[in-house]
Chain A
Amino acid sequence: MRQFSWFNATSLTLGFAFLYLPMIILVIYSFNESRLVTVWAGFSTKWYGELLQNEEFLDAAWVTVKVAFFSSTLATVLGTMAAQVLVRGGRFPGRTLFSGMIYAPLVMPEVITGLSLLLLFIGIGLDRGVLTVVLAHTTFSMCFVSVVVSSRLTSFDRSLEEAALDLGASPFDAFRLVTLPIIAPAVISSWLLAFTLSLDDLVIASFTTGPGATTLPIKVFSAVRLGVSPEINALSTIMIGIVTVGVITASLVSKRTALQQARAEQAAARTA
């Protein structure tokens, strides 16, 4: 057993306090009665009520979800294809450029990506709106998807695909019947990642959006620029709550499947 010193315990406690205290404080203050966010004036849920009546926020939320859904779905398809090409594609002309274009957006400052896409949309005369934001988000999320999926594909036993081919499956069938079901967890989590990235994005959306396509982060940003607001606290609490429930559920589910798998393997060892 490793020694777990007081030093380690302290750094963990302080570290996680640093990571979580700001959000906890935010959540607590979202239930503050007073508009003056810094003075505690008793428990209240009235800001949630006000938030739910604020049409602008609701519209922005709807636009954001729409954009996130379409862009993450598109990004998952394209990113999985790109991952397949990266890991299994072998050599083809322009491969270096291709992998460069996959990795570059991951480290590209958002201001540059946003600016360049905006200039493109203007250049080709595409009216800015939901479509342009979806295109922009798809482009950078597909790179994240392809990185996640290709790391799964790299550890994937290639002989499974070969076995499928050997048994008479066409390459497409081999992908559909063998590869996809096995890498499905990675594909799903990369879809979730793409969805969150899109929900979260302020800078690229600000550049590429147009009238009628204001997303939630843009709305939030313009609101908080002026200072702390209780409605934003309430909104943040809702978003933090959704994420927390989602992540915890996902980890519990995956823990349970791992446990079941371990039990099944034990049972197998016993019957053998």
Chain B
Amino acid sequence: MMRRTFLIALPYIWLLALFLVPFAIVLKISLSDIALARPPYMPQLDLTGGLAAVWDFITQLDFENFVFLTSDDLYWKAYLSSLKIAALSTAITLVVGYPIAYAMARAAKEWRPTLLMLVILPFWTSFLIRVYSWMGILSTEGVLNQFLIGIGAISEPLQILNTQTAVYIGIVYTYLPFMILPIYSALEKLDDSLLEAAEDLGCSRTTAFWLVTLPLSKGGVIAGCFLVFIPTLGEFVIPSLLGGSETLMIGKVLWEEFFSNRDWPVASAVAVILLLILIIPIVLFQRNEQKQREAEG
């Protein structure tokens, strides 16, 4: 009994202290005022002052920072643009990833582990390096432009790096395995005889795909979409390395608010709103996973 308590308590307390409490602090600071001090915010809870101090603390909390976020159109534009970029790049990743996952699932059995390893391998290489590798390709004097000029497709180098396009390429590239893996695992479980049955009952190959394969891989598609959409929404590295000044993403705004402007309360308010936006897809994702598990088990 002692051991069980210890077993539960240690990770529990760790997560409470280093995951939940920090959020409470973010929430609290988002309701505070900026101060030219260290730490640069007011008020701070001083429990030595007793109840009066607690009262002071509570009365000084306000929604000023949130009001500020709505007044400056930079913020809501950043949220909207993040949502747009995340949604669009999820769609592109799906279109690119589905045929790959499908082809992997249809490949000969002895090849599948190798193909799977090839998809997973990029996971283990540095995210930063993978994003960085596109900088050398997309820049005006980069490999892509040299190639296109070389074959005579263009005469002037294209400006791709530091545009939205580069951000989309970067996101699709880095998150593609997240899309492929769940779809592949759904398709791999698909029983071949289902397709044969569909054809036996008069479906053409194409209709069998639309009526059997696609509905049965729905769970994998949904999981893949969430796995791309959710982290993309708060993405920081890709827009800051590949995107230009016009690429507004909320992760980048938060970073700059914090490191450049040192406005902690506003940065915290930005984080709180981002979290609120994220709750919806996260809950939907969890419910999808739950449904999958129930269907399987």
Are A and B associated in one complex? Answer: yes
User: Could you tell me which A residues sit within 8 Å of B by CB distance?
Assistant: 1-4, 7-9, 11-12, 15-16, 18-20, 22-23, 25-26, 29, 36-39, 78-79, 81-82, 84-85, 89, 92, 94, 97-98, 101-105, 107-112, 115-117, 119-120, 122-123, 135-136, 138-139, 142, 146, 171-172, 196, 199-200, 202-203, 206-207, 217, 220-221, 224-225, 227-228, 232-233, 236, 239-240, 243-244, 246-247, 251, 255
The yes or no answer to B203 lying at the interface (CB within 8 A) is no
Chain A positions within 8 Å of B20 at CB level: 97, 101
Kindly provide the distance from the CB of A218 to the nearest chain B CB, expressed in whole angstroms.
10
Given A15-B96, A139-B18, decide whether A38 and B103 contact each other with a Cβ distance below 8 A: no
Stretch at the interface among B60-68, B71-79, B113-121: B113-121
| 1/0 contact string of B105-128 vs chain A (CB within 8 Å) | 011100001010111111011111
**What total count of A-B pairs have CB within 8 Å?**
231
Instruction: Give the residues in chain B near A122, CB-CB below 8 Å.
Output: 39
Give A57 Cβ to nearest chain B Cβ, in Å: 14
Main secondary structure of the interface of B (DSSP, over half): helix
Closest to A15 in B: B100
Complex-state Cα separation, A8 to B104, whole angstroms = 8
A15-B176, A98-B11 are known; give 4 further A-B pairs, CB within 8 A: A11-B100, A26-B129, A112-B271, A139-B14
B258 at the interface (CB under 8 A from A): yes
Interface check B133, CB cutoff 8 A:
yes
| Chain A residues positioned under 8 Å from B88 (CB to CB) | none
Residues of A within 8 A of B278 (CB): 107-109
Tell whether B15 is near chain A: CB-to-CB under 8 Å: yes
B165 to chain A, nearest CB (A): 15
User: B residues within 8 A CB of A199?
Assistant: 126
Interface of A is mostly: helix
B143 interface residue per 8 A CB criterion = yes
For B125, list chain A residues within 8 Å (CB). Answer: 23, 239-240, 243
Instruction: Find chain B residues with CB under 8 A from A138 CB.
Output: 14, 18
Contacting residue for A115 out of B231, B233, B267, CB 8 A: B267
Q: Are B117 and A247 in contact (CB under 8 A)?
A: yes
User: Is B222 at the interface (CB under 8 A from chain A)?
Assistant: no
Q: How far is the CB of B247 from chain A (nearest CB, A)?
A: 14
Task: Fill in one digit per residue for B259-276: 1 if any A CB lies within 8 Å of its CB, else 0.
Answer: 100001001100100110
5 contacts between A and B (CB under 8 A): A81-B10, A172-B3, A220-B128, A225-B240, A228-B139
Q: B128 near A110 (CB under 8 angstroms)? A: no
Query: B182: CB under 8 A from chain A?
Result: no
Report the separation of the CA atoms of residues A111 and B236 in the bound assembly, to the nearest whole angstrom.
Answer: 8
Could you list which residues of chain B lie within 8 angstroms of chain A, going by C-beta atoms?
A: 3-4, 7-8, 10-12, 14-16, 18-23, 25-26, 29, 39, 96-97, 99-100, 102-104, 106-108, 113, 115, 117-122, 124-130, 132-137, 139, 141-143, 146, 173, 176-177, 180, 192, 230-231, 233-237, 240-241, 251, 254-255, 258-259, 264, 267-268, 271, 274-275, 278, 282, 285-286
Q: Which residue of the partner chain B has the closest CB to A223?
A: B132
**C-alpha gap A103/B267 in the complex (Å):** 24
- Contact in complex: B106, A8 (CB < 8 Å): yes
Q: Which residue of B has the minimal Cβ distance to A221?
A: B128
Option from A11, A200, A228 in Cβ contact (under 8 Å) with B103: A11
| Bound form: Cα–Cα A84–B11 in Å | 11
- Taking a contact as CB atoms closer than 8 A, the residue among A26, A36, A196, A202 that contacts B128 in the complex is A202
CB distance from A83 to the nearest CB of B (A): 9
The minimal Cβ–Cβ distance linking B131 to chain A, given in whole angstroms, is 9
Min CB distance, A212 to chain B, in Å?
A: 19
Nearest-Cβ distance from residue B174 to partner chain A, whole angstroms:
10
B103 touches A224 (CB 8 A): no
Closest to B15 in A: A101
CA distance A217 to B126 in the complex (A): 9
Chain A residues with CB under 8 A of B122? 19, 23
